[in-house]
Amino acid sequence: NAGVMQNPRHLVRRRGQEARLRCSPMKGHSHVYWYRQLPEEGLKFMVYLQKENIIDESGMPKERFSAEFPKEGPSILRIQQVVRGDSAAYFCASSREGDQPQHFGDGTRLSIL
């Protein structure tokens, strides 16, 4: 039973490019959460989505960042016009329902040149 799958594991972008991070939740899970871990810091909540809906985006930066979880396919975290400060590890988690434990993926390490 595959866990939460994130790809790519490592992503390198130049300043100004777009970064797309993908997350396939565990089978049967319809709730997805994105977290960001900056160097020397803990994980910070970004956004909580349920199929086709954004439930809580209180942790998302106001500009350049967006997330979606379409009816079919993985959840996508998109960062437009990346800057050096976007360098971080981005973790995705999923749960079957909102009151069930979150299962985490291995993360995507984003490096901005």
Partner 1 sequence: AQSVSQHNHHVILSEAASLELGCNYSYGGTVNLFWYVQYPGQHLQLLLKYFSGDPLVKGIKGFEAEFIKSKFSFNLRKPSVQWSDTAEYFCAVSAGGTSYGKLTFGQGTILTVHP
Residues binding partner 1 (CB under 8 A): 3-4, 33, 35, 40-45, 48, 55-56, 58-59, 91, 93, 95, 98-102, 104-107
State whether residue 86 is helix, strand or coil.
helix
Closest residue by Cα to residue 19 from 106, 92, 88: 88
What one-character DSSP code corresponds to residue 29?
-
Write down the least CB distance from residue 20 to partner 1, Å: 21
Q: Read off the tokens for 52.
A: 């086709």
Beta carbon of residue 77, minimum distance to partner 1 (angstroms, whole number): 16
CB of 68 to partner 1, least distance (A): 18
